[in-house]
Every structure is written in C-alpha cells, then in structure tokens.
Structure 1
Amino acid sequence: MSGRVEYEPASVKALLAEMKDTAELLIDLSYSAVLHGSDDVAAEVLKLEERMDVLQLRARMSLLMAARNPEDAETLAPVLGVVGAAEKISDAAGDIAKVVLDDIRVPEAIRAALPEAVESLVRAELAADSDYAGRTLLDVNLETETGVRVLAIRRGGDWLLNPNRDTELLGGDVLLLRGPDERIGGVYETATGDAYEPPAVPEPAIDDLERAVDSVVTMKNMSELSVDLAYGAVLFDSTDLAAEVVELEAEVDALKSRFEAWTLRAASRVEDPVSLRGLVHIATATEVISDAAVEISEGVLRGLDTHVVVQEAVEESDEVIVRETVEADSALDGATLGGEEVATETGMRVIAVRRPDAETDEWVVQPGPETGIAAGDVLLAKGTRASADRLRDLASA
C-alpha cells in the first residue's frame, strides 16, 4: 500500500458494506486466478488487496472518532474485530493469488480438470474505440446477449464492485469478466480490440486430479458463503447466522484435512512433488478465511451489543440475510427451488442449503433450480425484508 491515508468523515455501515463486497470479490478472484492459471487476474487481486488496506484504515479512524466513553469502547470492540478479520481475509486472498504470481506451483493441468460448470474469468482493458465504450451495461445488454457478466470494474485507483444496469463503461476501464468459454473470447475481443488467446490446457499427469479441483471449487464457494453470512450476522445482529458461520467453519476444517491427505498421497505418484506445493498454500489460506469469518461474527455470538452507528445503518438497509428451517408439510417440503419458483415467488435468493445429519451436515452451496428441499433443511437466503416474510410463509407448515 502506498500513499498517505487521511481521516474523512464516513459512514461505518458504508465502509463495512464495501469491505464485505471487497472481501467476497477478493476470494472469488484469487481462487479463479489459480483455477484458470491467470497472472492478470492474480495481479488484480493484489491491487484490490491494497484497496482493502485503505478501507481498513478509514474504518478504524471512523470507529475511534465514534468512541467517547467506556460504554462506546465496549460496543465498538466487536466492530474493530470485524475490521481486523477483514485484513486476514484480504491477506489470505493475496496469498492464494501469489501461488500464481510467485510460481509457487500447482499442477499445470488443473484447468483440464475443471468442471464444466466453472466459467472462465478474464481481465480486459476497455479500448477507447470499443463498441462498449461510452455505453451503459443496460445498453450493451452483455449478460443477456452473451452470458458474460461484468463482476467488477477498476477505474484508475477506484473500484466499482457492484456495477449495475446504469453503470457506464469508459475507455481505459479494467473489466473483470466471467462467462462460458465459448462466449468470453468474443466479448474480450470486442472490449480490447485484441485477439483472445485462451490458456493452454495440458493433459493431466496426476490420477484423480478432478477430485482436487472439485475440492478447490468447494473451498472457494464455502469461503465466499462464510464471509457473506458473517457480515450478515454483524450487520443484522443475527445469532442464527453467526451459528451457521461456526457450522461452516467446521465443515471447511474437515474439507481442508481431506484435501491435505489427497495432496500427500498424490505426491508419491508424481515425478515432481514440488508441483503440488501451491495446493498446500491454498488449503492453509482457506482455513484462515473461514477462521476470520468466525471472528467477524464473534461479537454476535458473545451477545455483545452492536454499536449504535451500525444499528442505525442496519435500519436503513433494504437487504437482509435470513435463515429458515423447512417445516414438514410446508410448500417447500419435498419440492425443488425451481419447482416452487422460490426466487420468483418470494424475491429471495437462496445462497446455501444445510441438511442436518446425526454425524456431519451436508452443505449445498450455490444451489440451483433443481436443488431438492425437504423438512429439516436450513435455507440461507438474501433479499428484502418483505421477501423474507414470503419465504418464511413457504417454509412454514
């Protein structure tokens, strides 16, 4: 990080929200950089990590200015814990990106083993004479026409983390694009004016590499979910969400152990065991992220009151994250998310399903329309407060 950071009056809620969005994007980009072997995307992770450093300092300054007495200090302590945990997430994402940039090594054929459902992610610098330049995302209609979406935009030193239909694309913007392999090349060429050269896909030299790649994808999804839920627990003072973060952390620990065991067994079957070193780094960073998510929600778990500045900000928020248990004989018992058109009927997006079990819970992260739901399943969803009430009605008998 370079440059002096000076205090500026800022909403703690706004800073926490931007840190949440930044943390989620950092996790997404860092894992994607490894899976797709992209130096360009990995470099963007380090730039975004610098942005997170600035956000942390500004948040700490704002919180210090808000403390006027011992009672304030007591309620601010959990929020400072949120800021510190965000730094750990940012550093862990940077460590994952450095697996690519510092040539720590992962199997070169990892891309060949990617599931078909995993879309490509590329970095494209928008040319001034591109057909997209000077137009809004609504006008370009990129996602509808091509299936490729703009995850984020870097404009000089500033980041647009949640570009929407009204966002105008300008020449010189760095676009982070995600979409299907067969479409993303055409979008890249239209944006940059340069030919798209997909990365080479060597033949796998390790048996059962697909299992390792599936584990990395699962780590990515669970890390994103745990951070999302942890920030939701803080912003909405929800002990239910905080408890789900703890459950996820235990699941990630078990996944990390299995992944490390696979890596050690694979080391005896490859000519160059050092080529697996990056996988160990990824597993370690994943555990750091899940532990940091627990730290974010720790104040809620301990019953500490949220500071008034956060409470006021929460009251103004339109979005909530909820946890609903499906009751027997409810509309969702025995249905699928698509069959009941949960997203359409309620306006809520189910981001995960946890299926409690006597020994170990099963998690469905990023469920789709075909995901089946049964009594006892725990739904984790995002949407408006009114939408949450409609989801609760569907889940109740």
Structure 2
Amino acid sequence: MDPLADEAPSTPIEYEPVSVKDVLIEMKDTAELLIDLAYSAVLHRNEDLAREVVRLEARMDLLEMRGRMSLMMAARNPDDAEQLAPVLGIVAAADQISDAAGDIAKIVLEDIGLPDAMRAALPDAVETLVRGVVTTDSTYAARTLKDINLESETGVRVIALRRGNEWLLNPGPETTIEAEDVAFMRGPDAGIEEVYEIMTGTPHEPPVIDTPDLPDLERAVDTIVLMKNLSELAVDLAYSSVLFDSEGLAEEVQNLEVEVDALESRFEAWTLQAAADAEDPVRLRGLIHLGSATEVISDAAVDISEGVFRDIDVHPVVRMAVEESDEIITRVEVEAGSTLDGRTILEGVPDTETTMSVIAIRRPDEGWLLVGDADATARAGDVLIAKGTRTAAAEFDEMARA
C-alpha cells in the first residue's frame, strides 16, 4: 500500500466545523516545516526527508481546502467578506509555499541533478536536520520532552513528530515521544549523532561530500543560499505583519522580495555562464529548479502580507491566532544617539539589557545582513528585525529611540 495514500490530494473531503484560527496556525507551522525539510532533503540527498515533504504537502492541500470551506461559512455580510478576503489570501499563499517545497523535494526524488558545489556550500547555511524512527527499546520512548531534556543537554530540538498520518508540529515540554514516532530533529552535528543513535538504535551517517573545484559555480551557489535565507525570513515577517497588523513589517517583506528578485536574475546569468564550462551541464538543472522555487516562496510572502498594505482591518479570527503566540517579531529603526546605536550584536544578542534576539539588519547602504551568519554592530539608520516577548519588544523599541 502507498504510505501516502491516506494523505493523497484526491482523498474525498467534506465540510466539518473547524476553527479557522486553528487551521491558520497549523498552515503557518506546516509551511515553515516544509521549507526546512525541503532544503535539508537537498542538502543531505535524503530521499526519506523528500518523501516526508510530499506527505506534508498533501496534508497542506487538505488544510487549504478546510480553510477555504470555513472561511466561506464565516462570511455572513459584506463587512465579513472584506475582512476575510486577506485571510483567504494567506491560505492560498501557504499552499504556494507548500507547492514550492514539493518542487524542491522533487530535485531529490526525481534525481533532477544538483552540483556537489551546492551541497558543499549548504552546511554553512543550514543547521543539521535529520529524520529518525523511534525504536520500541529507545530510552526516549514513552517519555516527555521535558523529562528527556534534550535541548539543554545536547542542543538538539525535536521540531516535529509524525505519528502515522498525524503531525505534531512544534512539540512542547509535555509532548510524549512514542515508539514508532517519526521524529524530526535539528541541532549541532555532535548532538545529532548522540540523539539519533539513542532514538533509532542506529548510528547517524552524514553524507560524504567532496568539495569540487568549480569556481564558475561559486557565485551562483552563494547567491542561491542567500536567496533561501532571505525567502525564509520573508515568510516569517509576512505572517508576523498580518498577525500583528504591522505595516512596517509588511514593508520589509516587500523589500526582501525585491532583493530576492534581483538575486534570482543574477543567479540565472551566473548559472548559464557556468553551464558553458561545466563537464555535465545537465547536472545544473536542479540548481535552476531550486532558484525558481525559492523565488516563488518570497512572492508568496508578499501575498500573505497584502491585506496589511490595503489597510483592511484584521479579522477577529486572526487576532485570536495572535493570542497563541508567546513570541513576536518586531521591526525598529535605530536613531542616532539611542541606546542601540553603536552596540555590538554577537550571535544575534545585542550588548544591552534586553531579551530580544536580532535576526536580521537592513542597512541603507549595504542591504540585508542576516545576523546569524555574522556578528555586527548596530548603527544609526539600521532597521533591526528582532524576535522576543511582547514586553521585551516594547523595551527594545524604546532603546532604538534617541
């Protein structure tokens, strides 16, 4: 029997009363996990991860249909229709992200081809993500994540579990790991090796990648890695712009999309130039697929935030979804003479009394800087994108003001 049969897009579905809020939250979490799994499948040449992308993509199709049905039932008058229209756009955009992730997975499943230079570059850009099946005799089985205390002891996070056809996204401390669960874990290589073996009973075997001497591809590979990172950031900011009705964040989504478009244009030119000298140009097809899918993700991010720019009031269902989030993303512009002006940012943490973590900087004369990739110093005129609690975000905003 096809293991994906129960999740197939052709599976009949009937309307049933479900919370639009819950569907939106699950679609958001699913979209983010899809991006993670798809790029990791390419990085590790991992067909099992790629198949999980296909499985999760089918799940997203069902969520999209349920979301559309619920939204149609919720629209009772013109005012409802006006407020729900952008929410319908969010649902459609999440499905676009899902389809793009599926296209990325097909690079592996259909062996479309990807130069080793790409895989050699990605380890610096992507934290290790692995998939493992929990054995019945694993010491983790039948225990909660709080009891196991993985993250504190090993640095490894369980980012999702699949139990049959049921997905447990963003598992919390009270989530119990069961035998036969499919666990998705992210963390440093040393921690992954230890946790994977305890979880599955078999050693983790990372792919052996030779770094080839392909100078013609270097710029193309660096560009696609940057496109990937900026597109992921755009999706994160897009959801936050809607959930918190922030025009400032929506504006940054558009800035990111413009940057990704420009990068894709250069990426295509460099890839074509490399093809002229490549021993096997056909192996570059996957790189082109990856670039196209990455650009689709950034376009979908703009679609998610469109309602914010059209000044449409956020529907109450979106406000309810906000209450589910303990952590928010905020945007501040550093003013000259403020507390943040001249402060160093080491691994995302500013040298200040704040619990906010800076994830990106947009610098007027230099463009985007992803802080996770390099340390930086905040300076006047910088736009900082940071993540933290609501209380910390308010304090952070004050620090940016002179």
Q: TM-score range by the shorter chain?
A: over 0.9
- Is the CA contact (8 Å cut-off) linking 1:206 and 1:269 kept in structure 2? no
- Is the CA contact (8 Å cut-off) linking 2:50 and 2:106 kept in structure 1? yes
In the alignment, the residues of structure 2 paired with residue 101 and residue 239 of structure 1 have an alpha-carbon distance, to the nearest angstrom, of 40
- Is the CA contact (8 Å cut-off) linking 1:205 and 1:270 kept in structure 2? no
Structure 1 length normalisation: TM-score?
A: 0.92
Structure 2 length normalisation: TM-score?
A: 0.91
| Structure 2 residue 289 is the aligned partner of structure 1 residue 281 | yes
Q: Among residues 237, 241, 251, which one is paired with 1:233 in the alignment?
A: 241
3-state SS of paired residue (1:364) = strand
Matches within 5 A, 1:7-18: 7-18=15-26
Match of 2:300 in 1: 292
Match of 2:115 in 1: 107
Q: Among residues 209, 216, 220, which one is paired with 2:224 in the alignment?
A: 216
- Is the CA contact (8 Å cut-off) linking 1:330 and 1:395 kept in structure 2? yes
Shift of 1:264: 0.8
Point out 4+ residue stretches in structure 1 off by more than 6 angstroms: none
Match of 2:194 in 1: 186
3-state SS of paired residue (2:194) = helix
Tell me which amino acid in the other structure corresponds to 2:209.
V
| Structure 2 residue 345 is the aligned partner of structure 1 residue 333 | no
Matches within 5 A, 1:20-59: 20-59=28-67
Match of 2:5 in 1: none
Shift of 1:394: 1.6
Q: Among residues 382, 385, 390, which one is paired with 2:395 in the alignment?
A: 390
In the alignment, the residues of structure 2 paired with residue 25 and residue 340 of structure 1 have an alpha-carbon distance, to the nearest angstrom, of 22
- Is the CA contact (8 Å cut-off) linking 1:115 and 1:214 kept in structure 2? no
In the alignment, the residues of structure 1 paired with residue 315 and residue 185 of structure 2 have an alpha-carbon distance, to the nearest angstrom, of 37
In the alignment, the residues of structure 1 paired with residue 342 and residue 118 of structure 2 have an alpha-carbon distance, to the nearest angstrom, of 37
3-state SS of paired residue (1:346) = coil
| Unpaired stretches in structure 2, ≥5 consecutive residues | 1-8
State the percentage of identical aligned residues. 62
RMSD in angstroms over aligned alpha carbons? 2.3
Match of 2:139 in 1: 131
In the alignment, the residues of structure 1 paired with residue 211 and residue 393 of structure 2 have an alpha-carbon distance, to the nearest angstrom, of 47
3-state SS of paired residue (1:9) = coil
Shift of 1:252: 0.5
Q: Among residues 74, 80, 84, which one is paired with 1:76 in the alignment?
A: 84
Using a 3 Å threshold, how does the CA distance of structure 1 residues 367 and 201 change in structure 2: closer, same or farther?
Answer: closer
Tell me which amino acid in the other structure corresponds to 2:103.
D
| Unpaired stretches in structure 1, ≥5 consecutive residues | none
- Is the CA contact (8 Å cut-off) linking 1:30 and 1:45 kept in structure 2? yes
Using a 3 Å threshold, how does the CA distance of structure 1 residues 331 and 173 change in structure 2: closer, same or farther?
Answer: same
Match of 2:273 in 1: 265
Cα deviation digits, residues 41-74 of structure 1 (max 9, x gap): 1111111111211211121111111111122212
- Is the CA contact (8 Å cut-off) linking 1:332 and 1:340 kept in structure 2? no
Tell me which amino acid in the other structure corresponds to 2:232.
E
